[in-house]
Amino acid sequence: MSADVEDPQRRDILVVAATAFSAVGAASLIWPFVHQMNPDAGAQALASTEVDLSPIAEGQAITVMWRGKPVFIRNRTPEEVEAAKKVKVDELPDPVSRNENNPGTPATDANRTVEGQEKWLVMVGICTHLGCIPKGQALADSKGDFGGWFCPCHGSHYDTSGRIRKGPAPRNFDVPPYKFVSDTKILIG
């Protein structure tokens, strides 16, 4: 009678092997679907942008793209920096700095720039009223009543620190997260 009984160890090995083979096969089928949910290289490249500041002369401004938004970078003159520092926060329509590097602070010029690099102003160049792109980047552009930026769509005026001073815009320009990686390069994002 003992010759008719199957060997239980052999059956267990076959079950374990078949289960393992099935698990590996299922994982190899699911992996492409999971992997396609990761951001592609183009999206990851847009997450941060490195900008060389050395070609930007004093008083000049450039626009770079970051996450599909224009970012204004201005090498402010000493006069522009002084004018921005003299503004009292209680005179501003929006007293908050809107700086992702320094959140929730008053809208002083020092809170909208990086210490030691006050001449460089970096901000998202979208009017906070209805999303227009203000004038003021080119030397020939109208810079508004406060020498900064002017949105001709609805008449918002920004000062040399990117703070709303007059018009329907409710907020200051946003300052994106950025840091200096050297004296002449910044990393936005």
Question: Is there a catalytic annotation at residue 154?
Answer: yes
**Which is the catalytic residue, given 35, 129, 154, 157?**
154
Residues 6+ apart with CB under 8 A from 130: 153, 154
The number of angstroms, rounded, from the C-alpha of 109 to the middle of its chain's C-alpha atoms is 19
CA 2 vs CA 5, 7, 66: distances in Å: 6, 10, 77
CA distance 55 to 50: 14
Residue 72, beta-bridge partner list: 63, 123
Residues 6+ apart with CB under 8 A from 87: 109, 159, 161, 163
> Please, are residues 125 and 176 in contact by the beta-carbon 8 Å criterion?
no
CA distance 107 to 118: 14
Residues 6+ apart with CB under 8 A from 123: 71, 72, 112, 162, 173, 174, 175, 176
First to last CA, the chain: 77
Question: Mind telling me the catalytic residues?
Answer: 154
